[in-house]
Amino acid sequence: EPDGTLLGKHILVTAGPTHEPIDPVRYIANRSSGKQGFAIAAAAARAGARVTLVAGPVHLPTPAGVERINVQTAREMMAAVEAALPADAAIMVAAVADWRAADAADQKIKKDGSGQPAPLALAENPDILATLGHHAQRPALLIGFAAETQRIAEHAQAKLAKKGADWIVANDVSGDVMGGDSNAVQIVTTAGIESWPAMAKEDVALRLIEKVADALSV
Residues with catalytic roles? 30
Residue closer to ligand C5P, measured from CB, 127 or 203: 127
CB atoms within 10 A of CB 80: 19
Quick check: 18 and 94 in contact, CB under 8 A? yes
- Check whether the bond before 86 is cis (ω within 30° of 0): yes
User: Contact with ligand C5P (CB under 6 A): which of 76, 127, 172, 194?
Assistant: 127
Q: Is 146 in the site for ligand C5P (CB under 6 A)?
A: yes
User: Could you say whether residue 129 binds ligand C5P (CB under 6 A)?
Assistant: yes
- Give the residue numbers of the binding site for CTP: 98, 108, 126-129, 145, 159, 163
Q: 73 with 20: CB under 8 angstroms?
A: yes
Minimal distance, residue 196 CB to ligand C5P, in Å = 17
Per the CB < 8 A criterion, the answer to whether 53 and 132 are in contact is no
Residue 125 in the binding site for ligand C5P (CB under 6 A): yes
27 is a site residue for ligand C5P (CB under 6 A): no
**Residues whose CB is less than 8 angstroms from the CB of residue 46 and which lie 6 or more positions away in sequence, other chains included:** 1, 2, 3, 64, 65
Q: Based on the shown chain and the rule CB under 6 A, indicate whether residue 89 belongs to the binding site for ligand C5P.
A: no
Q: Which residues bind ligand C5P (CB under 6 A)?
A: 14, 74, 92, 94, 96, 98, 125, 127-129, 144-146, 159
